[in-house]
Amino acid sequence: MAPTSALDMPDMPSGKLPPHLELQRTRVICAADAAAHTESIQYSGAYALSRIDNSLRLREFCDNFRVEVFSLNEDDIEFDMIGIDAAIANAFRRILIAEVPTMAIEKVFVANNTSVIQEEVLAHRLGLVPLKVDPRLFEYKSESDLANEKNTIVLKLDVVCSRQDGRIKNATVKSEQLQWLPNGSEYQIEKTSKTYTSFSCSQETLPALKDNPIASRYPDIILAKLRPGQCIELEAHAVKGMGKTHAKWSPVATARYRMLPEVALLENIRDSLAEELVEKCPVNVFDIEDLSRGRKKAVVARPRDCTLCRECVLGDGWDKRVQIRRVKEHFIFSVESTGALPPDVLFLESVKILEEKCQRLLVELS
Amino acid sequence: MNAPDRYERFVVPEGMKKVNYERDMKIMNAATFTVQREDHTIGNIIRMQLHRDPNVLFSGYKLPHPLQYKVLIKIQTTSQSSPMQAYNQAINDLDKELDCLKESFVSKCRRNKTTIKE
C-alpha cells in the first residue's frame, strides 16, 4: 500500500489554513485573564508543514493594502491602515515623534529680566512654545554655522508691567507678545558693529512667509507673570531640529495606533441575556434588535468603540457567549499635530523620511 | 560636563561607514550588517521584510547598547540566495511598498478634503 499523508485526506482544506489557525494568525484573542496569539506571524515558512506559503510578495501587499481616512481637520487625523504589519505602523509612529523636523526656540539672549522667573526657566518655557512655521523652508544649523535667514528665526519679547489708571498692564506675558523680527537680531555684539545674526535679506521676501507671518501657534500660552515695575526684554533664536534631540522639536502632541477591536457573539443572545449584555457594556457597543412576537436579540453595533475592558466576558458563562478580538493587520492610526504642519502632511513627511532611510541603507553599502 | 553631544545620536562620525557587511565565518550564507546611527525604527522593519522572503532562514536585529547608536542585523539564507541579495531585495521591496502606501494615502486624503469642502 502506498503511504498516504494526512494532508491528502479529503477533509483537509487545500491552499487555505484551517479556520482555527487562520483565526490565530489574523486575530488577537482578548480573553478575560490574558490576551492570546499576540505575535504576528511573518516567517514565510511558518506553515510549511501544512504546505501553505506564508511569504508576502510586493504585488500581494499592494493589492491588499488599504487606507481609510476616518476624520481629518486642521490639527488631528484618524485613519485606518489595513494590511500592514505592526513593524511598519510602529516605524511611522517613532518617526513622527522623534524624526520629523520642526522649528523651536533654541537660544535666548536676555537683555533685561527683573521678573521673579529665572532666565533659564524662562528660556526653557520659550523653547516649548510651538511655532507656526513650515520647517521645510529652513535648513539645519550646525554649531559652526553663522545664523542667517535660512537657518534662524528671531523673535523678540519686550514687556514692561505698569500700573495705569488703577489697572495693572501686562501682568501676564503671553505667547502672542512674541514678535517676529524678519530682519534678524537687533542686538549688537559688544565692541563690534555686528549683530548676533547675519541676514543677507529680510525673511519677509520669502513668498511663503510673506502671507503667513511667523508667530506662536497658540496666542494664549502664559510665559511669565509680572508685577508693576518689572520687565522682560529678550531675543529668542529658533532653529530647526528633531524630537530625537529634544522633545520641543517633536511635531506631534501624540502619534498613536491601535488594532481594530472586533466583538464576536459565539451564539445567539436573546431576551433577558441580550438586555444583560447591553447593560454590561460601559461604552455601549451592543444594540438590541427586536424580533417578531416580542423577542429580542443582541447585535454588535459599534465594535470600534470597544475599549477592551472585558466587562462583557466576565461573569458566569459569558466567555462562552462573547469573544473580544483585535484584528492584527488593521491599524487605527491617529496623529495630533502641534501646529507647525497639518497632520496629513506630517504623515507624508514620515513616509518620506522612512524612504530616505531605506535608500541610504542601500546606497551606503556599496 | 561629560555628557555626549546631542548630535552624536544621528551624525555618522567621519571615517565610519554607515552600513558595514561582515560574513559569518562558521555558518554558510550568513552575515551581519552593522548599521550606524539607526535604531528599532529601521531594524524591526527590515527584520519583518526579511521574514517574508522564502529564501531567508533566519533574520534578527539587536541594539547592542542604548548608548551605542547602532543596530546589528543578522541574516541567514538558503543556498539559492545570499544575505546581501536578501538584504537588497528586502529594502527595495520595502521602498516600493512605501510608495504604494503613500499613493493610496494621498488619494484618500484628497477625497476626504474635497468632501469636507462640499
Task: Write the CATH number for A44.
Answer: 3.30.1360.10
The pLDDT of B36-57, averaged and rounded, is 94
Where do runs of H (alpha helix) occur along chain A? 19-26, 58-64, 86-98, 119-127, 207-210, 271-280, 318-321, 343-363
Top residue of A41, A43, A79 to mutate, by most chain B CBs within 10 Å, is: A43
Residue numbers in B near A360 (CB within 8 A): 18
Query: Is the per-residue pLDDT at A112 higher than 70?
Result: yes
Residue numbers in B near A362 (CB within 8 A): 88, 91-92
Query: Chains A, B: CB contacts under 8 A, how many?
Result: 120
Whether residues B116 and A72 touch (CB distance < 8 A) is answered with yes
Residue numbers in B near A242 (CB within 8 A): 10
Residue numbers in B near A344 (CB within 8 A): 105, 109
Residue A120 has, within 13 A of its CA and on its CB side, a CA count of: 0
pLDDT band at A8 (very low <50, low <70, confident <90, very high): low
Tell me, yes or no, whether A335 and A346 share the same domain.
Answer: yes
The reported pTM is 0.91
Tell me, yes or no, whether A89 and A114 share the same domain.
Answer: no
Tell me, yes or no, whether A131 and A206 share the same domain.
Answer: yes
Asked if the structure places residue A12 within a domain, the reply is no
Q: Any CB–CB contact under 8 A between A99 and chain B?
A: yes
Whether residues B38 and A81 touch (CB distance < 8 A) is answered with no
Residue numbers in A near B98 (CB within 8 A): 351, 354-355, 358
Three-class secondary structure of residue A140 per DSSP: coil
ipTM at complex level: 0.94
**B51 class by beta-carbon count within 10 Å (0-12 exposed, 13-18 middle, 19+ buried):** buried
Rounding to the nearest 10 degrees, give the CA dihedral for residues A49, A53, A56, A61: -130
Residues B86, B54: Cα–Cα separation, whole Å: 10
**Partners of B31 in the β-ladder:** B23, B75
Nearest to B100 among A62, A68, A99 (CB): A62
The pLDDT of B61-87, averaged and rounded, is 95
Tell me, yes or no, whether A246 and A115 share the same domain.
Answer: yes
Domain boundary pick from A227, A250, A273: A250
pLDDT band at B93 (very low <50, low <70, confident <90, very high): very high
Top residue of B41, B70, B93, B104 to mutate, by most chain A CBs within 10 Å, is: B41
Tell me, yes or no, whether A203 and A131 share the same domain.
Answer: yes
Tell me, yes or no, whether A138 and A206 share the same domain.
Answer: yes
Residue of B nearest to A63 (CA): B100
pLDDT band at A293 (very low <50, low <70, confident <90, very high): confident
The pLDDT of A251-264, averaged and rounded, is 95
Residue numbers in A near B21 (CB within 8 A): 365
Closest-CA distance, B26 to chain A, in angstroms, reads 23
Interface of A with B in 183-212 (CB under 8 A): none
The pLDDT of B45-73, averaged and rounded, is 94
The pLDDT of A259-283, averaged and rounded, is 93
Tell me, yes or no, whether A41 and A134 share the same domain.
Answer: no
Q: Which of A40-44, A147-151, A181-185, A244-248 has the lowest mean pLDDT?
A: A40-44
Tell me, yes or no, whether A206 and A125 share the same domain.
Answer: yes
Tell me, yes or no, whether A260 and A296 share the same domain.
Answer: yes
Range of the domain at A147: 102-250
Residue of A nearest to B38 (CA): A357
We report the CATH number of the domain holding residue A241 as 2.170.120.12
Asked if the structure places residue A14 within a domain, the reply is no
Residue numbers in B near A47 (CB within 8 A): none
Nearest to A114, CA basis, from A232, A261, A24: A232
Nearest to A65 among B21, B54, B100 (CB): B100
Residue numbers in B near A48 (CB within 8 A): none
Nearest to A348 among B10, B51, B102 (CB): B102
Q: How far is CA A351 from the centre of its chain?
A: 13
Residues A285, A262: Cα–Cα separation, whole Å: 10
pLDDT tens readout for residues A139-155? 999 888 899 999 999 99
Q: What is the pLDDT of residue B63?
A: 96
Asked if the structure places residue A358 within a domain, the reply is yes
Q: What is the pLDDT of residue A35?
A: 92
Q: What is the pLDDT of residue B111?
A: 87
pLDDT band at B82 (very low <50, low <70, confident <90, very high): very high
Total structural domains within chain A: 2
pLDDT tens readout for residues A77-103? 999 999 999 999 999 999 999 999 999
Domain boundary pick from A185, A215, A250: A250
Closest-CA distance, B8 to chain A, in angstroms, reads 10
Q: What is the pLDDT of residue A2?
A: 61
Of A59 and A161, which is predicted with more confidence?
A: A161
Asked if the structure places residue A32 within a domain, the reply is yes
Tell me, yes or no, whether A266 and A221 share the same domain.
Answer: no
Tell me, yes or no, whether A307 and A233 share the same domain.
Answer: no
Nearest to A216, CA basis, from A156, A169, A152: A156
Query: Is the per-residue pLDDT at B115 higher than 80?
Result: no
pLDDT band at A14 (very low <50, low <70, confident <90, very high): low
pLDDT band at A5 (very low <50, low <70, confident <90, very high): low
Q: What is the pLDDT of residue A49?
A: 82
Whether residues B6 and A245 touch (CB distance < 8 A) is answered with yes
The pLDDT of A31-58, averaged and rounded, is 86
Whether residues A365 and B21 touch (CB distance < 8 A) is answered with yes
Query: Is the per-residue pLDDT at B29 higher than 90?
Result: yes
Q: What is the pLDDT of residue A212?
A: 87
pLDDT band at A3 (very low <50, low <70, confident <90, very high): low
Q: Any CB–CB contact under 8 A between A90 and chain B?
A: yes
The pLDDT of A163-171, averaged and rounded, is 92
Residue of B nearest to A91 (CA): B41
Q: What is the pLDDT of residue A131?
A: 96
Asked if the structure places residue A243 within a domain, the reply is yes
Q: Any CB–CB contact under 8 A between A360 and chain B?
A: yes
Residue numbers in B near A42 (CB within 8 A): 48, 51-52
Helical (H) or strand (E) element with B32: strand B30-36
Asked if the structure places residue A155 within a domain, the reply is yes
Residue numbers in A near B51 (CB within 8 A): 42-44
Closest-CA distance, A25 to chain B, in angstroms, reads 14
Asked if the structure places residue A347 within a domain, the reply is yes
Question: Measured in Å, how far apart are chain A's first and last C-alpha atoms?
Answer: 57
Nearest to B93, CA basis, from A352, A60, A64: A60
Domain boundary pick from A250, A269, A284: A250
pLDDT band at B117 (very low <50, low <70, confident <90, very high): low
Tell me, yes or no, whether A205 and A342 share the same domain.
Answer: no
Nearest to A72 among B35, B92, B112 (CB): B112
Asked if the structure places residue A304 within a domain, the reply is yes
